[in-house]
């Protein structure tokens, strides 16, 4: 069993063992249900100290020229890439995701975003604009850092999300207090130490630990100027409401119940590959998962037959093995939640179960017998009003819905309060674009699913979020605009000049 030293609030450049709160919790390896690390929850005093550390570091960091900030961040990128496999093993231990995934996605895509923003600010990404208003006046704008910002991470992509938040935040000249999910907290200190080794000044990136009460304290704190949160919709509403009440900036990346629409000209193999990526990658624990799969009724038999055949390629096994591509659910609580949805689909919704259920995968290695493993599951002949179709399950559960016309499929796909992602699979690209245009979602794909490069701004519509992450627009969410009008005519314009008639009296 792998274990790590205790984790404490990290601020002023190091873990703060003295003065830490007495409350502790365990980080659990979900594949075995064994503890791996004791985490000391941050007390209000710890959080205050972390925020004070960030506030003290902010003036110097924000006034550091962007090119110099870029050099620090690029050194951190090099360290992340050099330690990719080491960090990926930590992510596998903490999340249960196979090493084949964490070593090629989690750390890599996080480092990509940090590299993108480091290069963006080095090449003028924080420049404002300047224009002549009239012969005697001109206007210039500046993008100013916000101050101390709070980042609240999610448990499904721990280090990636930490980098998605901290990269534009730090690049823009802000300081951050970051709270990882209490379910997957191991990455946070590793990242803080990498930033420090890269030359980031002490206090610019700090870590606090704990559950919702720690996040709530951060959100309400008078010094914190912005809150960036990734998580479920219900929590996001509370965080956004609390932050907005204090007039703070917010970015919210929340949940989804995303549709996949298969068009009738799509090759069945492609449709199935897309649907599987949209449902079983990361054991279905992805906010953008396309869990409502709309398939032409005429394709029913061939789609289901091909799907069942290809599901044989979902492989459980040693999580360190290069061929393993499916892991456990992240925690006992989440395992029970997902299992209850599957049971509801069977007992209450009366959907047709064609694969999986509430059991553990076949051929599960003995060392994982006590872990939080669940079979990849498929329900077919689903109806729009079923609970398993309407609510976000966040697990390896696919629901297949059949349709007769594309207009019908689009209308049904949009009938949700969520709007995070959507995708279309088909041969006629013009038809695909037409469907994408009508789908109400902030992230969309055509003939692929899930890729989210650093250059691509992503964010949800409706209840799925506020603001965007990544891309050029992502940087705008971490600055405030200052506009200045300069009058060069030599006199100050005024309406309070002496009237000419009065001057002759």
Token output for 54: 């960030």
CA-based nearest residue to 152, from 176, 168, 170, 173? 176
179 DSSP β-pair partners: 152
Q: In the predicted model, is pLDDT for residue 490 greater than 70?
A: yes
Task: Name the region of 133 (left: φ>0; alpha: ψ -120 to 50; beta: rest).
Answer: alpha
Q: In the predicted model, is pLDDT for residue 376 greater than 60?
A: yes
SS (H, E, C) 446-459: ECCCCCCCCCCCEC
Which pLDDT value is given to residue 505? 53
421 DSSP β-pair partners: 443
**In this predicted model, what pLDDT tens digit does every residue of 399-428 receive, in sequence order?**
999 999 999 999 999 999 999 999 999 999
Token output for 77: 């990128």
Task: Name the region of 350 (left: φ>0; alpha: ψ -120 to 50; beta: rest).
Answer: left
Q: In the predicted model, is pLDDT for residue 148 greater than 80?
A: yes
Q: How far apart are CA 180 and CA 230, in angstroms?
A: 10
Please answer whether residues 325 and 314 qualify as being in contact, where contact means their C-beta atoms are separated by less than 8 angstroms: yes
H/E stretch holding 26: strand 24-29
Which pLDDT value is given to residue 18? 72
H/E stretch holding 108: helix 107-122
- Pairing mode, if any, of strands 24-29 and 34-40? antiparallel
Q: How far apart are CA 4 and CA 151, in angstroms?
A: 24
Mean of all residue pLDDT scores within the chain? 96
Backbone angles phi, psi at 176, to 5 degrees: -130, 140
Which pLDDT value is given to residue 275? 98
Catalytic pick among 253, 304, 375, 469: 253
The yes-or-no answer on residue 253 being catalytic is yes
CA-based nearest residue to 439, from 405, 406, 410, 408? 410
Instruction: Give residue 20's pLDDT band: very low, low, confident or very high (50, 70, 90).
Output: low
* Residue where the block lists tokens 């076949």: 362
Q: What are the CA-CA distances from residue 359 to residues 97, 298, 333, 434 (Å)? A: 19, 32, 16, 41
CA-based nearest residue to 157, from 253, 238, 224? 253
Q: How far apart are CA 332 and CA 371, in angstroms?
A: 8
- The pLDDT of 216-235, averaged and rounded, is 96
Kindly report the pTM of this predicted structure.
Answer: 0.96
**Domains plus CATH for the chain?**
10-255+464-485 (3.40.605.10), 259-446 (3.40.309.10)
Please answer whether residues 379 and 388 qualify as being in contact, where contact means their C-beta atoms are separated by less than 8 angstroms: yes
38 DSSP β-pair partners: 26
């Amino acid at each position: 069993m792998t274990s790590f030293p205790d984790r404490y609030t990290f601020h002023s450049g190091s873990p703060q063992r003295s003065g830490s709160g007495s409350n502790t919790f365990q980080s659990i390896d979900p594949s075995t249900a064994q503890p791996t690390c004791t985490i000391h929850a941050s007390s209000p005093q710890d959080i205050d100290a972390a925020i004070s550390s960030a506030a003290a570091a902010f003036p110097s960091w924000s006034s550091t020229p962007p090119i110099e900030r870029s050099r620090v961040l690029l050194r951190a990128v090099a360290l992340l890439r050099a330690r990719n496999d080491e960090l990926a093993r930590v992510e596998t231990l903490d999340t249960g995701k196979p090493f084949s995934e964490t070593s090629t996605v989690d750390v890599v895509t996080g480092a990509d975003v940090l590299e993108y923003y480091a290069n963006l600010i080095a090449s003028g990404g924080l420049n404002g604009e300047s224009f002549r208003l009239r012969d005697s006046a001109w206007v210039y704008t500046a993008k100013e850092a916000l101050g101390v910002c709070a980042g609240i991470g999610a448990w499904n992509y721990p280090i990636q999300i930490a980098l998605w938040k901290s990269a534009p935040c730090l690049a823009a000249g802000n300081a951050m207090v970051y709270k990882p999910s209490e379910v997957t907290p191991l990455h946070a200190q590793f990242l803080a130490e990498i930033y420090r080794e890269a030359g980031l000044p002490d206090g610019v990136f700090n870590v606090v630990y704990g559950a919702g009460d720690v996040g709530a304290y951060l959100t309400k704190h008078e010094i914190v100027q912005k809150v960036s949160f990734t998580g479920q919709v219900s929590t996001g509403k509370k965080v956004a409401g609390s932050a907005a009440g204090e007039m703070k900036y917010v970015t919210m990346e929340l949940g989804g119940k995303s549709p996949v629409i298969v068009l009738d000209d799509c090759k069945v193999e492609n449709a199935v590959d897309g649907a599987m990526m949209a449902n079983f990658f990361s054991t279905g624990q992805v906010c953008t998962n396309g869990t409502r799969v709309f398939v032409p009724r005429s394709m029913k038999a061939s789609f289901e037959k091909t799907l069942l055949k290809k599901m044989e390629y979902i492989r459980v096994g040693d999580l360190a093995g290069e061929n393993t591509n499916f892991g456990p659910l992240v925690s006992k609580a989440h395992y029970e939640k997902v299992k209850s949805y599957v049971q509801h689909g069977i007992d209450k919704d009366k959907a047709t179960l064609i694969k999986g259920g509430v059991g553990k995968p076949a051929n599960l290695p003995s060392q994982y017998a006590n872990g939080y493993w669940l079979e990849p599951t498929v329900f077919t002949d689903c109806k729009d009003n079923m609970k398993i179709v309407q609510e976000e399950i966040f697990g390896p559960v696919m629901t297949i819905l059949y349709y007769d016309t594309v207009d019908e499929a689009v209308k049904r796909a949009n009938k949700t309060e969520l709007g995070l992602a959507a995708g279309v699979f088909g041969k006629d690209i013009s038809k695909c674009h037409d469907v994408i245009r009508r789908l109400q979602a902030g992230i969309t794909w055509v003939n692929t699913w899930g890729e989210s490069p650093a250059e691509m701004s992503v964010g949800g519509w409706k209840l799925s979020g506020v603001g965007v992450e990544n891309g050029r627009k992502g940087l705008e969410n971490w600055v405030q605009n200052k506009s200045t009008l300069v009058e060069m005519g030599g006199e100050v314009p005024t309406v309070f000049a002496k009237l000419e008639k009065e001057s002759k009296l």
